[in-house]
Amino acid sequence: ETGVTQTPRHLVMGMTNKKSLKCEQHLGHNAMYWYKQSAKKPLELMFVYNFKEQTENNSVPSRFSPECPNSSHLFLHLHTLQPEDSALYLCASSQFGNSPLHFGNGTRLTVT
Amino acid sequence: AQSVTQLGSHVSVSEGALVLLRCNYSSSVPPYLFWYVQYPNQGLQLLLKYTTGATLVKGINGFEAEFKKSETSFHLTKPSAHMSDAAEYFCAVSGSNQGGKLIFGQGTELSVKP
């Protein structure tokens, strides 16, 4: 495996469910990110982790809970989501300090 | 504060024609500028970046962009469009020492007609 891998690729969940998105990077990077891509809106930065420490929380609702156990893995735990949370969730990694982001293929989330 | 404006949410060109996708930015610090491409059902792939130095930047797949500070622009061009260039293109800006805190434009969907 190379690059940034996200699982699952698609997820359908009800508003009362609890699920998790997983991201793994094989690039030796020290920073990882969650972005949200909604239709007709710019990509929104959600969270930034640098050396496993959260350095950015862009006013994300608490129903989204990130976890970064090490520099290679990043999770996004989801609970009691709303239909408006349906979007493509993209994980990215980089060497912290303005090196380019490398993106995974995303998880397409649908909240019913 | 930083922001990015991409002029035109949709651009259509004929195969072999010039591709021009416009991007203007606003930044209170010297900007780092990026263009990414997204094909359907995929993540974003870096096309090119400007950090410092030469203002004309060449990227993958024959694309290039020129940083024009006086115009606060970073337009993306390609001399001759291919059908495979059809995708969504995103311009992004960050400042020095801001890590991956990229601010993205709304994207421009490029269509290529045979």
What are residue A56's DSSP bridge partners?
A: A48
**What would the pLDDT profile of B42-63 be if each residue is shown by its tens digit?**
899 999 999 888 899 999 999 9
- A-B contacts (CB, under 8 Å): 64
Query: What average pLDDT does the segment B60-80 reach?
Result: 96
pLDDT at B99 over 90: no
Side chain identity at residue A18, one-letter code: K
HSE value, Cβ hemisphere, 13 Å, CA-based, for A51: 2
pLDDT at A31 over 70: yes
A33–B contact, CB cutoff 8 A: yes
Q: What is the DSSP letter of A94?
A: E
The residue ranking higher by pLDDT, B37 or A51, is B37
| Band of pLDDT at residue A25, cut at 50, 70 and 90 | very high
* Cβ–Cβ under 8 Å, residues A107 and A11: yes
Q: How far apart are the first and last CA of chain B?
A: 41
A100–B contact, CB cutoff 8 A: yes
Q: Could B101 and A56 be called an inter-chain contact, meaning their C-beta atoms sit closer than 8 Å?
A: yes
When CB atoms are compared, the residue of B51, B96, B101 closest to A48 is: B101
When CB atoms are compared, the residue of A42, A90, A100 closest to B43 is: A90
pLDDT at A24 over 90: yes
Q: Could B100 and A31 be called an inter-chain contact, meaning their C-beta atoms sit closer than 8 Å?
A: yes
**What would the pLDDT profile of A42-97 be if each residue is shown by its tens digit?**
899 999 998 888 888 888 999 999 999 999 999 999 999 999 999 999 999 998 77
Mutate to test the interface with A, among B36, B60, B101, B108 (most CBs of A within 10 A): B101
Contacts of A103 in chain B (CB under 8 A): 36, 43-45
B49–A contact, CB cutoff 8 A: yes
- The mean predicted confidence, pLDDT, of chain B is 92
pLDDT at position B94, please? 87
The residue ranking higher by pLDDT, A71 or B1, is A71
Strands B19-27, B2-7: pairing is antiparallel
As a whole number of angstroms, the distance between CA A84 and CA A72 comes to 29
Element (H, E) at B58: strand B56-58
pLDDT at A2 over 70: no
Side chain identity at residue B108, one-letter code: T
As a whole number of angstroms, the distance between CA B91 and CA B35 comes to 5
pLDDT at position A1, please? 54
* Cβ–Cβ under 8 Å, residues A35 and A45: yes
Q: Tokens 């493509």 — which residue?
A: A88
The residue ranking higher by pLDDT, B82 or B29, is B82
pLDDT at position A7, please? 97
Contacts of B49 in chain A (CB under 8 A): 100
